[in-house]
Amino acid sequence: MTETFRGFDGAPLALHRYGEGRPLLLLHGLFSDARMNWIKFGHAETIAAQGYEVIMPDLRAHGASAAPHAAAAYPPDVLVRDLAALVDHLALERFDLGGFSLGARTVLHGVAKGVVGPERLIVGGMGTDGLTNGSRRAAHFARVIDEFEAIPKSDPAWYAVQFLKSQKIDRVAARHLIGSFTDLPHDLLERVTMPTLVVCGAEDHDNGSAPDLAARLPNATYAEVPGTHMGSVTRRELGRAIARWLGPG
């Protein structure tokens, strides 16, 4: 089922639901959407079979959600503010929360900064460097947007350009969104005290070391699945690892 909720500033954002049971919010990665990350490859179905209602927004400037062009629509940590608006919209008190890549950054920022309070947390495709040196990763994608048509096929960034094209990303909105990203200092990770699953592809080093991130979190378990950063979300093992860690809803 797909519906709409309002972001922090009233922007209409898409929301997808799958299954019934204990609420689990899952946030997708940069330039993807809920269907691509969580539905298409069966992860939502696998998790829902355990007794969960899997609730998946399309982040601002992604999927079926609004992609405003005004810079004011992208204050620092805008996605954290939208996440808080979603929790309020759903009137959730007891819930679990997870994300992949940009979604993982968002949920960790939300928890570490005291904006949201899930009972359990899932962090996919993220390492310590992706949190504390996110400006490097943001600069990479800013270049992809700024030099879009000029990037040659011989450049590794060409593949990112093709992905943006396939996802029909609004580049004006995406450029504003990238500018809203902030880094998360190491010391704030101590506030992430709930049980946490850090899950990452065996060949995924895009955001630094996921095992190191798991070691820095007070109550984390690390799980490895096959694949690279882009490839791991296409593998059934990702959804199975999450469902196995969560257990029955």
What value does the mean pLDDT take over residues 30-39?
96
Q: Alpha-carbon distance 109 to 135, whole Å? A: 15
CB 232 within 8 A of CB 204: yes
State pLDDT tens for residues 60-87: 999 999 999 999 999 999 999 999 999 9
Nearest to 245 by CA among 131, 92, 122: 122
Which two three-digit tokens encode residue 215? Answer: 């070691």
pLDDT of 210-219, one tens digit each? Answer: 999 999 999 9
Give bridge partners of residue 224 from the DSSP assignment: 200
Mapped onto helix, strand or coil, the DSSP state of residue 135 is helix
Q: Judge whether residue 136 has pLDDT over 90.
A: no
* 0.75 exceeded by pTM: yes
Domain count, the chain: 1
Structural domain span for residue 32: 2-246
Is 35:16 a contact under the CB 8 Å cutoff? yes
CATH (domain of 240): 3.40.50.1820
pLDDT recorded at residue 33: 97
Q: Return left, alpha or beta for 163; rule: phi > 0 is left, psi -120 to 50 is alpha, else beta.
A: alpha
